[in-house]
Amino acid sequence: MLAAAQPAVGDVVADRYRIVRLIGVGGMGSVYEARDAVTGQRVALKILHPTLQRHPVIPQRFLREAAAARSLMTPHAVKVEATGNLANGVPYIVMEFLDGEDLGKFIARKGGRLPVDQALYIVDQIAAAIHEAHARGILHRDLKPENIFVIPTARGEVVKVVDFGISKIFTEEGVRLTQTGVTVGTPQYMPVEQLRGTKGLDGRVDVYALGVILFEMLAGARPFDGFTYEEVILKVASTTAPPIATYCPNLPAGLGAAVDKAIARDRDLRFLSMADLRQALAPYWNGMCPVCPPAAQTPYVPPPAHLSSSQSGSGAPPPNPPQQAAAQHLAPASNLESSGAWGTPAPQRASHESAASSSAAPPAHPTRAPNRGGPKTLTLVIVVAVAAIAALLVVVFGVGLWLWFASP
């Protein structure tokens, strides 16, 4: 059993996870690559920072929030496989190993900005993960490109959100923003109410952060930036974000309005939920889900009243039922595994998830049904009827002639 607070290569945690290498060190702790002796699989092992381990509450909250994140079913959240404590009481989390790169590096490698369809494809996957987290009472509060992993697959990039619910520990337990190595969120992605420490934060803090991420992917810049932490906070707290049309004048007006709404300074003007944000973005992209089998089907599930898009004032035209099913992935939880897709912009989003289901609504682009009637069919019926009548008359006339000649 490991006794040191910071393990070394070759050490074994919980008699199961052998440390392979140190991946990185952050304000919250250290992340290691390890090998699971039971399954043989690579895993990521996160160990809480020693300074936080001495806090009377944070270690327990760290494990509790990790356990909550473990309940998420979406394929777009990193899987938490186990939690525990080292021999000296330091808590750790075992997660799936992600073989890819964070979104910040992905954007930089693509030249600083992404095409509309690819940006919306990525955002939809993030929103799917956060939507389920919100449904389970988990706020992320620290959405940023560094907390989003992009994994290449044969069917497109699969997105995974990491650090679910962990940032909530810090503000609720009173850890100071200025504590060495600890940052409660990143100001470029934090709304003004979060920076001010407003009580009663809700899912709209994550809506704002995702809106900033989308802004950054499309415009190649963030709405607020600066040389120092304090400068960014001052801008967020005292100014209004510039419209994205300032950077991207050729964006469809409705898409630009959706981005601006997501990052509205007044949270009451933002989208009420991730479901509403996905619904507003759905008309501007189209494609296939990278983590669903081609025949995957998700029946349309009407949203609960408290998540209804009509309450959000999104201003977007009401989508058809398949768009809502693709945009919301509401309960049951299994439906949440069928999330976004990638393709080219289209007037409406074609949902493969409900295309073949008898219980689902008609597809966004329905195929033509076999012709069961119409003028051609009616003409054929009339011709056949006339021919039958003519044949009958010929038979009757022939029988009459035969009887006439045969009579004495």
Tell me the per-residue pLDDT of 138-154, one tens digit each, with 9 for 90 and over: 889 889 999 999 999 88
CA distance 314 to 259: 11
Find out if CATH 3.40.50.300 is the number for domain 14-96.
Answer: no
Domain with CATH 1.10.510.10 in the chain: 101-354
Whose tokens are 């900033």? That residue is 212
CA distance 140 to 129: 10
The pLDDT score that the predictor gives to residue 88 is 81
The pLDDT score that the predictor gives to residue 399 is 62
HEC assignment per residue over 195-250: HCCCCCCCCHHHHHHHHHHHHHHHHCCCCCCCCCHHHHHHHHHHCCCCCHHHCCCC
CA distance 7 to 21: 10
The pLDDT score that the predictor gives to residue 291 is 59
Amino acid, res. 193: E
The pTM score is: 0.67
Instruction: Kindly state the tokens that stand for 179.
Output: 């504590």
Judge whether residue 270 has pLDDT over 90.
yes
Judge whether residue 266 has pLDDT over 90.
yes
The pLDDT score that the predictor gives to residue 71 is 84
Domain with CATH 3.30.200.20 in the chain: 14-96
Q: CATH number of the domain at 101-354, please?
A: 1.10.510.10
| 149: helix, strand or coil | strand
The pLDDT score that the predictor gives to residue 169 is 55
CA distance 217 to 224: 14
Per the model's pLDDT, the better-predicted residue between 264 and 155 turns out to be: 264
Judge whether residue 303 has pLDDT over 70.
no
The pLDDT score that the predictor gives to residue 375 is 52
Average pLDDT over the chain, rounded to whole? 75
The pLDDT score that the predictor gives to residue 159 is 95
Which one of 142, 206, 260, 276 is the catalytic residue?
142
Q: In this predicted model, what pLDDT tens digit does every residue of 191-214 receive, in sequence order?
A: 999 988 888 889 999 999 999 999
The torsion defined by the Cα of 320, 322, 324 and 326, in degrees rounded to 10, comes to -150
Q: Is residue 142 flagged as an active site residue?
A: yes
Task: Enumerate the H helices of 26-109 as residue ranges.
Answer: 50-53, 58-70, 103-109
| 322: helix, strand or coil | helix
CA distance 375 to 383: 12
Judge whether residue 13 has pLDDT over 70.
yes
With a pLDDT cut of 70, the percent of the chain lying above it is: 66
With a pLDDT cut of 90, the percent of the chain lying above it is: 44
